[in-house]
Amino acid sequence: MAERVKTRRLEMNLTQEGLSVRSGVPLATYRRFERTGKVSLDGLLHIAYALDALDDFDQLFASRKYASLDEALDADQKNRKRGKRNE
């Protein structure tokens, strides 16, 4: 992900410092992100906003698409992870 962010930053002709200022993420934090890929979720969202990529997060936990109702019901039965209720 850090590599894709770096590519987007360069496409927008921004320096690390420029993106740091635009995003509000400290420069050292941003540099560490590009180097290691580690950043807080809050920092990542600020960076995404500065790169006009915040909408990309909408797909992160998007609903699955099924070809039929049977497929959806089948998947629901297989993925069920809760116990029975005590009555």
Domain-located, residue 79: no
Q: For 2-41, what is each residue's pLDDT tens digit? A: 999 999 999 999 999 999 999 999 999 999 999 999 999 9
User: pTM of the full predicted structure?
Assistant: 0.70
Domain-located, residue 37: yes
Burial label for 6, CB within 10 Å (0-12, 13-18, 19+), is: middle
Question: Distance between CA atoms of 31 and 81, rounded to whole angstroms?
Answer: 40
Domain-located, residue 65: no
CATH number of the domain at 48, please.
1.10.260
Q: Is-contact 44 37, C-beta < 8 A?
A: no
Q: For 36-73, what is each residue's pLDDT tens digit? A: 999 999 999 999 999 999 988 878 777 777 778 787 77
